[in-house]
Structure 1
Amino acid sequence: MAKALSFGPDYGFGLYIHWPYCTRICPYCDFNVYAAKDRDNAPLNAALLADLERHRAVLPEHPPLGSIYFGGGTPSLMSAPAIGKLIETADRAFGVETGAEITLEANPVDISLEALEAWKAAGVNRLSLGIQSLDDEALRFLGRDHDSAKARQSVAETLQVFDNMSIDLIYARPGQSALSWKTELTDALNLGAPHLSLYELTIEERTAFGQRAKRGDIVPMPDDDQADLYELTQEVCNAKGLPAYEVSNHASLEAYMSHHNLTYWRGGDWIGIGPGAHGRLTVDGERIATHAALRPGDYQAAMDSAPPQSPGVMLSKLQNARELIALGLRSHEGFDLERIAVLTDHPVNRTALSEFETAGLIRRNGELVTLTPEGRLLADRIAAELSP
């Protein structure tokens, strides 16, 4: 039986905290980030705390938080006391479930046993480590500020303190061969992290790489070659016992899947605080999209001013349905046709559904629709064609 709503906190409730500063901005990065320099972080820390209190005022009926995620940017640049204060304030405002997943994204150069212990004492219980590559030449190309030796060391030290950890890698780099990627990926899997996030290099127009590609200095890998590397990735990870539970994410056990990201893919609610952070909230039975001011100064000024009359923009039933399909298809759980039917009078494209099933790109189990391994290569296209 379908739940009363097709979205909302019954499907998960999380908190995303965006820390926008980095010591170095990577040439491929398209996130809302700024150079850290010698900034006074106290005003931003105060604004984040104020934003939490504002959300509490409009969300009186929500359950305790099941996850907190510190993303960025480079949130490992935050002080451990500031991290702890945010977790404490979130707990006071909303409650935090016992055993809730609390993730901190970290840069390898910020890793030390002392820092790891301080983050753990502050309340963090999961680390996401952006090593990006284990190849020194690739790390230089990607503009990273660490080498492969530091990447390996940071994983080993993290595993001494955090059993639950993830590492990020970027592949499908220009000129990368299948053999070199297989070797690098196998090497990464042997480091022992129970979760890997594996992303194909995407060159966005407004990034430094985008400008270089426009000049012809970088030639992106052809789509067919990227697809070959994606399929190779699945083979290698499956053989090592880390199958994909989402298009780009792999875990050795269900316990190590990202609980926070599953809230996104399931259509749950999350609070988004920090410059440029997005959120999805259920208020009086309606789905609200929130988007904080992009620039840190504007965000801080907004927290010093009177609260807006509405927490965000109300999404239509059709927008909600399309989000549920697009996000749901990304994970191994898929999406439920019954949830879409309850939400909107606009039906899923049944003709496309049948064609994709016949082609072996999706599976049907009653009302549940999931992608096959082959379908994951076309996830965005399939979601678009199925959507009402």
Structure 2
Amino acid sequence: MPAAASSPHPARDLGVYIHVPFCRVRCGYCDFNTYAPSEVGGATREGYVESALAEMALAGRVMAGDGRAASTVFFGGGTPTMLDAAALSSLLEGVRTTWGLARGAEVTTEANPDSVTPESLATLASSGFTRVSFGMQSAVPHVLATLERTHDPSNVGRAVAWAREAGLAVSVDLIYGTPGESLSDWEASLDAAIALSPDHVSAYALVIEPGTRMGAQLRRGQIEAVDLDTQADMYELAEAKLSAAGYAWYEVSNWARSPEQACRHNVAYWRSQDWWGVGPGAHSYLGPRVSPSGEELGAERWSNVKHPRAYADRLAAGESPEAEREPLTADDLALESVMLRLRLAEGMPVAALPSPRPTEIARLVAEGLLDGREALAGTLLLTLKGRLLADAAVRALT
């Protein structure tokens, strides 16, 4: 584990990400580190909880002296609610024991709408969870079928209502640009999501990765990717409908009813705060800091072994689950800062660029990607067109 881990940095928040790698089935588009029951190689959900708690205990020893409580906790996957509510609650208790929870901490779990009940959501709320993010993806049956999503679309509304009854804030995740999805299909999904009146909506463009089943289908000509112009139309439709319904974008793919309903855990990533990732394949990041002896310590990122069986075996043997580590230079951090902060609706200061780019800034303003008035005031802020071409803007500024 990095030497920097035991050196506090009070100027940065600390988040905890817990990766639960289990899914009932692996969706055809998914390239995350997830495993269906036939793929776990003898690893069990009960054993996973024990291993994750063991990693937290290791983190507690490594970060002794840091002193920061977790400001946010995020359970992602996979499908975290493949674990029962008692198991998720025990993992949250492990976070409390290891780091503590800051006052007002945000605690989120992702969930498949079919994998929750009124009782399970009430248990999560009573144990300290504050927010649930439902993987809705689409309201259109043929789109869900192409994505190989197994949930019943009608269950989303029930799950949202149960979460509200439990006192949990609610987010819904959508995907647009699925092969065979029309603009009217996407509009139907947006209308259905807005009708649920969630606190937060995420809408992500589908990227078909080569190593997925959907990638193989695309390669064989069994499906046809939605063209980029149509995806742009879908994004613009999302912005128009969500804005009209009272949601404001705060990051390129995320909208919230109010600033307080933004996902604080993800905002911490975009602002380069610190986090510890627990679980198979989870990534961690600690930024630059100064040791108690005055030594300057650089930023580091590391990741765990990916397979649940290998992860469990390492921890059972009293070994670190770390698989790879990457020291980050000042130049690395400057470049990443542009990539991440430019996506936020708050923009980023011109002064934070790794090097001056007056000509490129002027060109991006002229092309309508950056807000000209904000640029003159010293802030780089993407326009709607700029959000569609965010990667091009980042390349120009780095």
TM-score by length of 1: 0.91
- For 1:195 and 1:253, the matched residues in 2 are separated by 9
Whether the 8 Å CA contact 2:305–2:323 is kept in 1: the answer is no
- Secondary structure of residue in 2 paired with 1:146: coil
Unaligned runs of 5+ in 1: 1-7, 341-345
Does residue 99 (structure 1) correspond to residue 104 (structure 2)? The answer is yes
Q: Which amino acid aligns with 2:194?
A: L
Structure 1 counterpart of 2:327: 314
1:362 to 361, 365, 370: 370
Judged with a 3 Å threshold, the aligned counterparts in structure 2 of structure 1 residues 367 and 288 are, in CA distance, closer, same or farther, namely farther
Structure 1 counterpart of 2:18: 17
Does residue 261 (structure 1) correspond to residue 273 (structure 2)? The answer is no
1:236 to 237, 241, 250: 241
User: Following superposition of structure 1 onto structure 2, how do residues 345-360 of structure 1 map, counting pairs within 5 Å?
Assistant: 346-360=354-368
User: Following superposition of structure 1 onto structure 2, how do residues 254-333 of structure 1 map, counting pairs within 5 Å?
Assistant: 254-282=259-287, 284=291, 285-303=297-315, 304-307=317-320, 312-333=325-346
Does residue 164 (structure 1) correspond to residue 169 (structure 2)? The answer is yes
2:61 to 49, 57, 61: 57
User: Following superposition of structure 1 onto structure 2, how do residues 165-204 of structure 1 map, counting pairs within 5 Å?
Assistant: 165-204=170-209
Q: Which amino acid aligns with 2:331?
A: L
Whether the 8 Å CA contact 1:159–1:193 is kept in 2: the answer is no
Whether the 8 Å CA contact 2:79–2:111 is kept in 1: the answer is yes
Q: Which amino acid aligns with 1:299?
A: Y
Structure 2 counterpart of 1:3: none
- Secondary structure of residue in 1 paired with 2:381: strand
- For 1:40 and 1:183, the matched residues in 2 are separated by 39
Deviation for aligned residue 1:147:
1.9
Structure 2 counterpart of 1:371: 382
Whether the 8 Å CA contact 1:125–1:164 is kept in 2: the answer is yes
Per-residue Cα deviation, 1:314-354 (whole angstroms, up to 9, x for no partner): 211111111111111111122234445xxxxx515332222
Deviation for aligned residue 1:366:
3.8
Identical positions, percent? 34
- Secondary structure of residue in 2 paired with 1:21: coil
Q: Which amino acid aligns with 2:388?
A: L
Judged with a 3 Å threshold, the aligned counterparts in structure 2 of structure 1 residues 232 and 19 are, in CA distance, closer, same or farther, namely same
Deviation for aligned residue 1:158:
2.0
Structure 2 counterpart of 1:343: none
Per-residue Cα deviation, 1:263-285 (whole angstroms, up to 9, x for no partner): 00111111111111111113544
- For 1:163 and 1:42, the matched residues in 2 are separated by 26
Deviation for aligned residue 1:167:
0.5
- For 2:160 and 2:284, the matched residues in 1 are separated by 31
- Secondary structure of residue in 2 paired with 1:145: coil
1:79 to 80, 84, 100: 84
Unaligned runs of 5+ in 2: 1-8, 292-296
- For 1:378 and 1:301, the matched residues in 2 are separated by 44
Whether the 8 Å CA contact 1:11–1:266 is kept in 2: the answer is no
- For 1:166 and 1:319, the matched residues in 2 are separated by 32
Whether the 8 Å CA contact 2:347–2:380 is kept in 1: the answer is yes
Structure 2 counterpart of 1:35: 36
Judged with a 3 Å threshold, the aligned counterparts in structure 2 of structure 1 residues 307 and 200 are, in CA distance, closer, same or farther, namely closer
TM-score by length of 2: 0.89
Does residue 133 (structure 1) correspond to residue 142 (structure 2)? The answer is no
Deviation for aligned residue 1:36:
3.0
Per-residue Cα deviation, 1:274-316 (whole angstroms, up to 9, x for no partner): 1111111135442110111111112222323444899943211
Whether the 8 Å CA contact 1:12–1:266 is kept in 2: the answer is no
